Chains A and B, each alone.
Chain A
Amino acid sequence: MSVPDSAETMQRLTAHLRRRARWRWPEILFWLAIPAAIFVLPSRAGIINEVLIAGLFALSLDLILGLTGIVSLGHAAFLGLGAYAAAILASKGFADPTLGLAFGAVVAALVGFVTAPLLLRGGDLTRLMVTLGVSLMLGELANRNGWLTGGADGLNFSMAPVLGLFSIGFTGQRNAALYSFAVLFILFVIARRLAHSSFGLSLTAIRENRLRAGALGVDTRRRIIGVYTVAAAYAGAAGALLAQTTQIVSLDLFDFHRSADAMLMLIIGGAGYLYGGLIGAAAFIVLRDVISAATPEYWEFWIGLALVILVLVGRGRIAAAPRRLISLIAPRAAHRGVA
């Protein structure tokens, strides 16, 4: 039996396997830039907060779509669940944000866990329909159970300060953005570890060749249920943040366009390397803001046009430029767009 030319091979192999787990300086700068922006542009804290929450939501979609290759058009189900769970808890007098955040994530995770087995059968089209169907059902349940959710009127409530110290809401938009940033950062670090672990590797393997993954002993069903549950928790956390920092929830949180927007953000930023959702969310929301300021009535026309151009012409050209840049940050960028 051949004994590998040990020390050097081992070193090269270890470096190769760990290359994605290593933090690079552009990443560190990225994470420093966000709180800096919040402090430098306090008047824009509201939109920064919106970007951070949308980014967290798109990140959660990236876990299933980009990493595992499971398509969903109903991810808003978990955004809405997390938001309503946090809002209902607050309206019952439990106004602590951290508690509400955890509650929103847990409720969404439970529903994700229960509905995940529906994704195991059939192909992409089946999954698109199943996920869409679940989100429609949950939205309608929220509509019908007005005694709990406020129905079409939504819910208004107030939040206690974060950790009992920092008040959030309309008077504390900077604090709200910092709160969202802290939650996003912590959840991102966890997602990053997950992506670079053996669990994350098995998700990549499921995306690349589910048949072979199973033939190597990967219990593909359990892994898919596992990542879907985590993604649901993340989306629930995004929903809870959205509810808490705006202190209002309404039925449009379950809307189809929320799911579609998250997918667009992911396509704009690039799926599968975790930063795509954050970059896409920033691009999408800033674009929408700029265009709607210029032409308040027709902004959807222009954003639609921009998306068509981006997807048709841009794939490989416009999208390649930031992707190449990003591949300096995380080599996984080169991986794959959305199917």
Chain B
Amino acid sequence: MSAAALEARGLTRHFGALTATDDVSFAIQPGARQALIGPNGAGKTTLINLLTGVIKPTAGQIWLAGRDVTHLASSARVRIGLSRTFQINQLFPDMTPAESLALAISERNGSGADFWRALGSRPAIVAEIAELLARFGLEADMDLPTRKLAYGKQRLLEIALALATRPRVLLLDEPAAGVPEEERRDILAALAALPSDVAILLIEHDMDLVFNFADRISVLVAGRLLAEGAPETIAADERVRAVYLGEDAHG
């Protein structure tokens, strides 16, 4: 049996008396399109932070492509193929998209600590930046400081940066959050065009997006996995409907 791209085993995290993540086990297969949904406060952000190594679990393990990474620093996890985007843009405001991508690519291919050769002196990196800029429609803005980019373009750069690390597993944290309607289509197209060999875990509130994108859905409620399965199964699940009826009342 081939190893799952990413696997959580009995993942638990306490904050004082609060159990934010409660014995969560799940696996994402290579190339999967999986979604993680759940009402506000379900612990989705804590789970992402556990998976990416921003916080340490109280109990349980995290495996990445057959390797126990529970005790690995987050930057080390990135280097072996676990990358993420952020719900609230985490970009480099004064760096340009081209420079930001140059950084991500250099770190991935091991030339990030090179203190001698000038940026742009490695044609392979330049070609890869050009390819990513084209893929995400960022060529026209490549030499502007990131803070001057339209919000939708910044969201695209979020994804482009994560993809530049060549992940096996990509965690997308509400990629379309706050994007105005007219720029939304670009984000959806970019998501649809992500490489098929990359396993993707999409954390999202927008059910249209989730049911369009995912071939498997996990439902997190109060830190526990409530249900997991194909979109049809989840849509028909009484417990999930009950949770989301409450959600709909104020959303």
- Check B98–A16 contact: CB distance below 8 A: yes
Closest to A226 in B: B113
Residues in A neighbouring B90, C-beta threshold 8 A: 209, 211-212, 215
Cβ contact of A199, chosen from B73, B83, B114, cutoff 8 A: B114
- Check B126–A208 contact: CB distance below 8 A: no
Q: How many CB-defined contacts (below 8 Å) exist between A and B?
A: 163
CB of B84 within 8 Å of the partner chain: yes
Residues in B neighbouring A13, C-beta threshold 8 A: 98, 120, 126, 129-130, 133, 142
- Main SS of the interface on chain A? helix
- Check B103–A201 contact: CB distance below 8 A: yes
- Check B78–A17 contact: CB distance below 8 A: no
CB of A218 within 8 Å of the partner chain: yes
CB of A288 within 8 Å of the partner chain: no
CB of A143 within 8 Å of the partner chain: no
Min CB gap B159→A, angstroms = 13
As a 0/1 sequence over residues 78 to 94 of chain B, the CB contacts with chain A under 8 angstroms (1 = contact) are: 11000110100011111
Cβ contact of A198, chosen from B52, B114, B143, cutoff 8 A: B114
As a 0/1 sequence over residues 27 to 50 of chain A, the CB contacts with chain B under 8 angstroms (1 = contact) are: 000000000000000000000000
Q: How far is the CA of A3 from the CA of B165 in the complex (A)?
A: 20
- Check B135–A2 contact: CB distance below 8 A: yes
As a 0/1 sequence over residues 187 to 227 of chain A, the CB contacts with chain B under 8 angstroms (1 = contact) are: 00000011011111110110011011111111110110010
Residues in A neighbouring B111, C-beta threshold 8 A: 198
Given A204-B95, A208-B95, A217-B131 contact (CB < 8 Å): no
Cβ contact of B126, chosen from A17, A196, A215, cutoff 8 A: A17
CB of B134 within 8 Å of the partner chain: yes
| B151-168 interface (Cβ within 8 A of A) | 161-162, 164-165
CB of A4 within 8 Å of the partner chain: yes
CB of A308 within 8 Å of the partner chain: no
- Check A205–B123 contact: CB distance below 8 A: no
- Check A16–B115 contact: CB distance below 8 A: no
Q: How far is the CA of A193 from the CA of B114 in the complex (A)?
A: 10
Cβ contact of A202, chosen from B83, B107, B126, B164, cutoff 8 A: B107
Interface residues on B, range: 35 or more
- Check A18–B94 contact: CB distance below 8 A: no
Min CB gap B124→A, angstroms = 11
Closest to A206 in B: B92
Cβ contact of B107, chosen from A12, A194, A217, A335, cutoff 8 A: A217
Min CB gap A227→B, angstroms = 9
Give the number of residues in A that approach B within 8 Å (Cβ atoms).
45
Q: How far is the CA of A208 from the CA of B103 in the complex (A)?
A: 13
CB of B40 within 8 Å of the partner chain: no
Interface centre among B73, B99, B112, B165 (most CB of A within 10 A): B112
- Check A17–B98 contact: CB distance below 8 A: yes
CB of A182 within 8 Å of the partner chain: no
As a 0/1 sequence over residues 108 to 125 of chain B, the CB contacts with chain A under 8 angstroms (1 = contact) are: 100111111111110100
Q: How far is the CA of A3 from the CA of B129 in the complex (A)?
A: 12
- Check B135–A198 contact: CB distance below 8 A: no
CB of B75 within 8 Å of the partner chain: yes
- Check B103–A219 contact: CB distance below 8 A: no
Min CB gap B196→A, angstroms = 12
- Check A4–B130 contact: CB distance below 8 A: yes
- Check B104–A217 contact: CB distance below 8 A: yes
- Check A205–B52 contact: CB distance below 8 A: no
A-B contact pairs, 24 of them (CB 8 A): A10-B126, A10-B127, A13-B120, A13-B129, A13-B130, A13-B142, A14-B123, A16-B96, A16-B98, A17-B126, A18-B118, A21-B118, A21-B120, A193-B118, A196-B119, A197-B119, A198-B107, A215-B84, A215-B86, A217-B107, A217-B108, A218-B75, A219-B75, A220-B75
**Beyond the given A1-B131, A197-B119, A212-B91, could you list 9 further A-B residue pairs with CB under 8 A, ordered by the A residue number?**
A16-B96, A18-B121, A194-B115, A199-B115, A202-B106, A208-B92, A214-B78, A215-B52, A218-B103
7 cross-chain pairs, A with B, having the tightest CB-CB distances, nearest first:
A17-B120, A199-B115, A21-B118, A217-B78, A198-B106, A212-B90, A208-B92
